[in-house]
Amino acid sequence: MIFISYSSFDRDKAKKLASRLEEGGFEVWLDEWSIKVGDDITQKISEGLDRAKYLIVILTSKSVDSKWVTEEWNSVFNKQINTNKVIILPALFEDCKVPILLKGKKHANFIDFEYGLSQILDTVKGDTVKSAKLLEGESEIADKGRPSKNEKGEHMLNGLVEDLLTKGNNSLSLIMHKAFKVSKAFKYAELYELARFELEGYSKDLIKEGGDYKYRTVNGYIVFGKIEKIRLGLNESMEDFWITIARDKKFIKQSFIFPDTVNVVEEQRQQARLNLRGIFQITMNSSEFLDLGYETDITFIAKNEMLEILYTKIRRKLQSTILALL
């Protein structure tokens, strides 16, 4: 169960988030929904916190000054330390002073709501009330005059295609989560495999087993060992930089299948779009994508636009997989 902690000033934000989570099949505790007239408010909140597996703390300038919000997440923070049975998920809705105890936790960035929601879903996936029932076949509709399972499945698939084709800021991670749920509900094996691995990431062993993962191929250069973050000089052009790299024998031109989740790709793409003169750089263990007979650190560098190309290829792969089912 997911408990949402928020300031009364942020009620609309909390209700929007709670509604979207419920649509995804999650059990949500929201005071407005869970506390009835005549109930003991403190007792009901305490019961909700005791049942919660996740506590989403909506962080705004109002909530960080709220006594109720602070008491709620402090209670869970202590429980998390003592039992490790509940997870606090900070949700940053606006720039504000984050409490010291929450600063060390990665937050979901709800300044872009859809993106923040995709980050939350990436953490809580598999904990839906509906998902287990769907796998058992309880989603089938038997009543006469109602859509058949195939008709409903096609309707859901068409909805995913519409999401992919809609111009704007539709989060690819969120669409992938929807595709995962649809694939489980209607037993679309190929879509299930694609969505599952996009959400969980691609291991080297999985790639070795074979499969249509070439759409995740990225091109760049590798250098053995860790290197400092590369930054262009003020008067250095991108073209000149890559010409220099191509001539430097330390750097080896390399292609490999990018293994991180679609959520990571989307996150890094957003960062890259803020810096058009930036260079994508990541240090990995060589065993992740090369068979050298030994392990060492390898730094991979590429043009920032590589992330945009990879994002587009993942989006097209999802679209083509869905269209093949219609």
Predicted pLDDT at 197:
87
Task: Provide the percentage of residues in the chain whose pLDDT is more than 90.
Answer: 12
**Architecture per CATH, 2-124:** 3-Layer(aba) Sandwich (3.40)
If you average pLDDT over residues 3-26, what whole number do you get? 88
pLDDT value at 142 more than 60? no
216 near 258, Cβ under 8 Å? yes
Residue 83 phi, psi (nearest 5): -120, -20
Choose between 101 and 282: higher pLDDT. 282
pLDDT value at 15 more than 70? yes
Distance in angstroms (rounded) separating the CA atoms of residues 229 and 207: 29
Distance in angstroms (rounded) separating the CA atoms of residues 319 and 326: 11
Predicted pLDDT at 145:
45
Token pair for residue 190? Answer: 């190929």
Q: Where are the domains of the chain?
A: 2-124, 141-208+315-323, 214-308
Predicted pLDDT at 80:
54
Predicted pLDDT at 234:
67
Least confident of 126-135, 235-244, 303-312: 126-135
Report pLDDT digits (tens) over 162-203.
888 875 556 888 899 889 988 888 888 999 989 988 988 877
Nearest Cα neighbor of 263 from 175, 148, 158, 181 is 175
311 near 297, Cβ under 8 Å? no
Burial 53-80 (b: 16+ CB within 10 A, else e): ebbbbbbbebbbebeebbebbebbbebe
Predicted pLDDT at 23:
79
Report pLDDT digits (tens) over 225-246.
888 887 777 677 888 888 988 9
Least confident of 4-8, 48-52, 67-71, 240-244: 67-71
pLDDT value at 132 more than 70? no
3-state secondary structure of 92: strand
